[in-house]
Amino acid sequence: MDTWQRRTVGYVAGLTVLAFAFAGGYNVALRVFEGETQPFYRSLQFIVETFTATGYGSESPWQSPEMNVFVIVADFVGVISIFLALPVLLFPLFEEAISTTVPTAVDDLTGHVVVCSLSPRGETLITELESQDVPYVVVEPDREAATEHYEDGYTVVHADPQSVGGLQRAGLPDARAIVADDSDDVNTSVVLTAKEVAEDVQAISVVNEPDRARYHELAGADAVLSPRPLLGESLAAKVTAGVSTDLGDAVEVGEDFEIAEFPVHRGSDLVGRTIADSGIREETGANVIGAWFRGRFESPPPPEETLGAGTVLLATGHESQLGALREMTQADARSVGRGETVVAGYGEVGQTAAEALSTAGIPYTVLDERDVPGVDVAGDATEPDALRQAGIENVRTVILALPDDTATEVATLVARDLEPDVEIVARAEATENVQKTYRAGADYVLSLATVSGRMLASTILEETVVSLDTQIEVVRTSAHGLVGKTLGEADVRFRTGCTVVGVERDGTVRTDLGPDFRIERGDELVVAGTDDGTNRFMELLG
């Protein structure tokens, strides 16, 4: 019995008791004040007529003041009782009748992915699934959230993912995988239920606290993903890249041929120069195939575009060539007299970033609201005094590892105002907030939702995502839509915004790709681009 039904039964029962009580009182009042007697059913009829405002007939007028007062009270009680039914019973009934009806089960759906429930990383995963025509269903226990997702165009089932019936109605026995994407406790419960419903279906659980991963595995999860440490390592890598020539974050495409991102650091000789005048190709031999300009990706980058602090170059080449490009993007040692880092936020991401900096031998100061072991300065990163106390005037980089995007945006504005030349590397929880953080003044922003969604997609899909923690997604995949065509005829960059950086054929990776290179059946392509670009590539050509 739902809430509306319980309210209705309670109201009817209460109204019945009230009507009988007033009918008895009316019978007594007639005898005492009017000197009349009548059967009880006549008094009950009068009370019903009073409560429903249908008239009194032969019962009126009354002679005594006491009787008139009793009738007045009955009038008020009756009207109030009836009008109470409108907001409590009738309005919800009308709202339910005209509101969106969210499905409670799926029909004829096989090979799909069951997502419990929908988070920003789940939205990234669904985008990847849709690009490869893989069906999905979101299982959402909250009616309002389910309605909102349904109206946004998602395939949704309003059911409890922790119940056997809920997962059965989501078609789990016919699914290819289930993703538990809620709190750690809920996720373990979902995995336990999933294994009871369909033991052979792949169960993937997202763990928020890495030390809880063991319990997800004991629950039966086939894969336990922990995206926060990876994000922390990636943010720290943008700092260590400024003082090291190591290409540890490069993606290997073929033998001695790699693709990597290169943030242009403040103080680099490249700042203020255009792509055409940068001399990158002439001095390093590396090929810049794309670039991020304040959150806007261009592939290929316009030759007249000016490089600024925070521009992220995407380049391919041999290890020695990429090493030379990294040196060009680093700050001139003569222009940088400080090398310490402030890590704002000491959650899982911040702790991992601090550990990576420590391993690289880079001094850092940790700022967090909590005064716990590992925190050097207890304070709010959105407050200027706290950043000053952390020594922002004497550092080269600030890593914002805050769990709240609004706080990250404010902290970016404050840090940029205090130190216009400091480098700001920031974490964003939701992909949609990345651009706002850039606008606030950050030099490099990476979204947790992007990293998490790529990890999930890489686990579920046959497509191999070979770069999980970069601005650019690099995938290794077949492309049936390109078989028999040359790269020039396919015009991949124009159609998708992606670049084909390598082709694996007969176990050998070819990287010397010109416009006349023809794709053959069985070829595996290494494609680089934004998440939207690689999804578009899969939709059109995969």
Q: What pLDDT was estimated at residue 185?
A: 92
Class of the CATH-defined domain 339-449: alpha beta
* Res 115: pLDDT: 93
CATH number of 244-334: 3.30.70.1450, 1.10.3720.10, 2.60.40.10, 3.90.380.10?
3.30.70.1450
**What percent of the chain clears pLDDT 90, i.e. is strictly above it?**
23
Torsion sign over Cα 367, 368, 371, 374: negative
User: Considering only 182-186, 433-437, 511-515, which range has the smallest mean pLDDT?
Assistant: 511-515
Dihedral angle over CA of 497, 441, 242, 208, nearest 10: -80
Average confidence (pLDDT) over 291-314: 78
CATH of domain 472-541: 3.30.70.1450
pLDDT of 418 reads: 94
C-alpha 369/C-alpha 381 separation (Å) is 8
Domain boundaries in the chain? 3-98, 113-225, 244-334, 339-449, 472-541
pLDDT at 388: 94
Q: How confident is the model at residue 88 (pLDDT cuts 50, 70, 90)?
A: low
On the question of pLDDT at 161 being above 60, the answer is yes
Residue with tokens 């789940």: 122
Topology match between the domains 244-334 and 472-541: yes
Nearest to 270 by CA among 257, 283, 285, 259: 283
Q: What pLDDT score was predicted for residue 113?
A: 93
CB atoms within 10 A of CB 261: 25
Position 141 scores a pLDDT of 92
Residue range 113-225 forms a domain whose CATH class is alpha beta
Packing angle, helices 531-541 and 448-460, rounded to 10: 30
Q: How is domain 3-98 classified at the architecture level of CATH?
A: Orthogonal Bundle (1.10)
What's the mean pLDDT in 275-287? 86
Which among 308, 315, 342, 325 is positioned nearest to 425, based on CA atoms?
342
Residue 176 — very low, low, confident or very high, per pLDDT cuts 50/70/90?
A: very high
pLDDT at 512 over 50: yes
Which residue in this structure is represented by tokens 């001139």? 332
Of 86 and 427, the structure prediction assigns the larger pLDDT to 427
| Tokens at 281, concatenated | 């190709």
Region 387-394: mean pLDDT is: 92
Highest-confidence range of 17-26, 199-208, 314-323, 336-345, by mean pLDDT?
A: 199-208
The mean pLDDT value for 8-28 works out to 80
To the nearest 10 degrees (0 to 180), the angle between helices 348-359 and 227-240 is: 40
User: What is the rounded average pLDDT of the residues 219-246?
Assistant: 73
* pTM greater than 0.85: no
CB 139 within 8 A of CB 164: no
